[in-house]
Amino acid sequence: MRFFITLFFFFFLLITPLVQAEKQTSLEKVLSRFSKTRLESLAALYERKNMLKEAAYSYKILADREKIFKRRVEFIQKAAYYFEKAGLEKEAIAIYRKIADYMIGSTNLQALACFKVGEYYYKHRKWKTAAKYLSYVVNLYQDKRFLDKALPMFQRAQKKSRSGFLAGLDYSIEKNIGQITKAAVEAQYKVLTNKEDTQKLKRVTKRLVKVAPRWDVKWSFNIIKADFWNAFAVPGGYIYVTNSLYNTVTEDELAGVLGHEIGHVVCRHSQKRLRRILLWNIAMNQINSKDTKTLLTIAAALKDLSYSRQNEYEADRYGVILAARAGYSPWGLPYFLKRIKEKYEKNRPSHLASLLRTHPITENRIKRATTLAKRLVEQNPTRYKFHSFEEYCKYMDELYKQEEKQKQEKKHQNQQEKSNSCKKSEQNQQS
């Protein structure tokens, strides 16, 4: 008898969430049959009558259908709020995560979403995910509404996510790895230290360091001599930019690029990748079959590419926000990415090629960075001169055209001066 009672109890526990899920999906199906205008009036009615679940699903469907961005954000916010109030935590977190990942709405809304998602995963002891979203609140958005709560949760989630093998890698070895890499970079490339050449770098970095997270890092910014565009960061806060890139960008663009590299250091992307490689090598030594090793190596390589792409998106977020916080235009980084696309990616890569890239397609990065910059400008329009990316691009394109024209005129002038001096020397010789 006791066996049957226990069996019934487990069956009840198993079937109850399935029945609830079926009810919720059927409710969503019923509401999705209504037209947009009818659904709006129904959502308002459900709000007045305090029918929270029905209101939440109505606003969720309206958000999916809405094309005007401001109204869509409004519906998404309401859907998340009513899901949370109705006790449907998973549905609310799914919406908040969407807001956080796709940078929907103002930075205040994004900070709220990151905090809610981080707090949810913290409660469920999913430390890595909790640390990721809480780090945005603590390091990036620095929203005073959530800092007091988010900081201790973030610190604990960070410690827990690093527990076990190679736990101290991020802190104890970071500085040493940085110094070794720094020595290798500076042995291969010449570091430019001319005061006139580094003035722009000093101006930009002075402002960026004030707003950069990771106060434990002593930031170092250097220009290296190379005939290609590149900027990169190594553990420990050592950031390098090539003179070819440095000499062809404005302060807005440079702030965005360096903010992006600061993001890589703040998020410890290099150390995380190193940890994955070390763990992978240890695991591979335990496998004897060559075929299994080959298949697993391919799978790991593809997984690592997806991590790399995600890291770039994460660093872009830092690039836009830190540049804006330092007093530069948030359009600087998206415009620089546009220039990279025009210089290096004239043809869009195939689907297979895009899957095998370590960096995301530049076009996708431009879209994301532009979306975030737009939110920052909308939040504080009086602070920024340009209120749209198109407007900023038009201004910058004209500026670069004028610079190019001046260079050509100067070049032509120098050539004329040379030819005149040659003619004079010939005349002197003849006389």
| 117 has pLDDT over 50 | yes
Is residue 260 within 8 Å of residue 241, measured between CB atoms? no
Alpha carbon distance 105, 107 (integer Å): 7
Q: What is the pLDDT of residues 123-165, one digit of tens each?
A: 999 998 998 899 889 888 888 899 999 999 998 998 887 654 4
To 10 degrees, the CA torsion angle through 375, 376, 380, 382? -100
Please give the helix or strand (H or E) that residue 118 lies within, else none: helix 107-123
Q: What is the pLDDT of residues 368-422, one digit of tens each?
A: 999 999 988 887 888 888 999 999 999 999 998 998 888 888 877 878 877 777 7
Tokens describing residue 228: 């290609």
DSSP 314-344: HHHHHHHHHHHHTTS-TTHHHHHHHHHHHHH
Helix crossing, 389-430 with 332-344: angle to 10°? 60
Alpha carbon distance 327, 259 (integer Å): 12
Tokens describing residue 369: 């960075």
Tell me the sheet residues that pair with 403. none
Distance of CA 193 to the CA centre of its chain: 31
3-state class (DSSP) for residue 373 = helix
Alpha carbon distance 91, 79 (integer Å): 9
Could you give phi then psi for residue 240, rounded to 5 degrees? -120, 145
Q: What pLDDT does residue 321 have?
A: 92
The neighbour count for residue 276, using CB atoms within 10 Å, is: 15
Q: What pLDDT does residue 149 have?
A: 94
| 280 has pLDDT over 90 | no
What average pLDDT does this structure show over 221-247?
92
Show the beta-strand stretches assigned E in 270-385.
none
Q: What strands lie across the sheet with 231-234, from one edge to the other?
A: 191-192, 220-224, 238-242, 231-234
Is residue 389 within 8 Å of residue 334, measured between CB atoms? yes
Set out the domains of the chain in order of their start, with CATH numbers.
24-161 (1.25.40.10), 169-398 (no CATH)
The residue with greater pLDDT, 9 or 52, is 52
Q: What pLDDT does residue 346 have?
A: 63
Alpha carbon distance 341, 310 (integer Å): 19
Helices assigned H by DSSP within 124-173: 127-135, 144-161
Alpha carbon distance 398, 396 (integer Å): 5
Q: What is the pLDDT of residues 406-418, one digit of tens each?
A: 888 887 787 887 7
The residue with greater pLDDT, 120 or 217, is 120
Alpha carbon distance 152, 344 (integer Å): 44
Q: What pLDDT does residue 249 have?
A: 94
To 10 degrees, the CA torsion angle through 399, 401, 403, 404? 160
What percent of the chain stands above pLDDT 70?
79
First-residue to last-residue Cα distance in the chain: 127
Evaluated on CA atoms 207, 213, 216, 222, the torsion sign reads negative
Is residue 229 within 8 Å of residue 340, measured between CB atoms? yes
